[in-house]
């Protein structure tokens, strides 16, 4: 799930439908797991937890890196942003 989250947040500008497809596959996976737990397995023993452990810092790192990655993808694939930057940084004054 974290790998899927990483692909989505890092490369969403490259394929904007990826979050939608991810949501669909996650809903299917949840439904399959629910059926499996209801009909095939014994009931799980509930155990408390204070958090999600080291996964929280991994997800936070992915979100911070995705900011730079998404800005870079948009900057290097856009035709408007580099033209505007060239116009703003024109040293000839033309």
pLDDT at residue 71, rounded to an integer: 87
The pTM of this model reads 0.64
Query: By the 8 A CB rule, do 75 and 82 touch?
Result: yes
How far is CA 9 from its chain centroid? 2
**Domain ranges within the chain, ordered by starting residue:** 1-6+56-86
pLDDT at residue 44, rounded to an integer: 75
pLDDT at residue 24, rounded to an integer: 95
pLDDT at residue 77, rounded to an integer: 82
pLDDT at residue 29, rounded to an integer: 94
Query: By the 8 A CB rule, do 38 and 27 touch?
Result: no
pLDDT along the chain (94 residues), means of 10: 89 88 94 90 82 90 91 81 68 54
Query: Cα(23)–Cα(29) distance, rounded to whole angstroms?
Result: 10
């Amino acid at each position: 799930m974290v790998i899927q989250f990483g692909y989505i947040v890092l490369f969403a500008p490259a394929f904007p439908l990826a979050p939608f497809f991810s949501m669909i596959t996650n809903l299917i996976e949840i439904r399959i797991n629910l059926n499996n737990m209801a009909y095939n397995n014994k009931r799980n023993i509930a155990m408390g937890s204070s958090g999600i452990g080291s996964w929280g810092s991994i997800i936070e790192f992915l979100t911070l890196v995705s900011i730079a990655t998404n800005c870079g993808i948009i900057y290097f694939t856009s035709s408007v942003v580099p033209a505007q930057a060239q116009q703003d940084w024109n040293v000839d004054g033309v």
